[in-house]
Amino acid sequence: MKINISRPNIYLLILSIFLLIFVFVFSFAVLIPEGKEYRKQRSELKKERRAALRYQNFNNETSELLKTLKSDNREVLTAFERAFNEKRFQKQHSNYFSSLSISKESSAIVDDEFSIYEVNTTSQISSPQSFYDFLDALNKSDWIISVNFPINFKRDGELIKSTFTMKVYATLKDSNSTK
């Protein structure tokens, strides 16, 4: 028996077999390995997006916390930025004492972040209560001040003479600039 297949059908069969072989080779050589790589990259991208989202959430929370702290402690932050003025200090706190004298210590300590003034004060008060009122007023003053111990009280007739040392903290003006 003789098979009669026309020449165009033979060409079409050969072309179809060639295209089928090409599709299989292309699939196994290019598409399948690239698909595996695509799935790996997609899973890595999902991990990176989750990490980026966590960092973004952390950044937002930290930013909110910073805003809250800045608004809650605005007085303290502005107090650090104010320069200490001896005359203004005497004017604000002279009503607690019968006489108040301030003498700046010769060596002002400079820290990395703060300039610290050591101020020796001598005052005459009528009762210890006025000194305690003065300490309360220091907490509400325009500067960050720490009173150092010992605080010496000495009776002088009707008045009590007190001597103490206090430190006034202020930030350096160029602490935010880059060096």
**What's the pLDDT tens digit per position in 130-160?**
777 877 777 777 777 777 777 777 777 777 7
* Across 1-18, average pLDDT: 87
With contact defined as beta carbons under 8 Å apart, do 124 and 97 qualify? yes
Place of tokens 């107090």: 79
Phi, psi of 113, deg, nearest 5: -115, -20
- Residue 96 to residue 104: CA distance in whole angstroms: 20
Does the pTM surpass 0.85? The reply is: no
Query: By the 8 A CB rule, do 86 and 102 touch?
Result: yes
In percent, how much of the chain has pLDDT > 70?
Answer: 74
Q: Is the pLDDT of residue 107 over 60?
A: no
Specify the CATH class of 82-171 in words: alpha beta
Say what the pLDDT of residue 23 is. 92
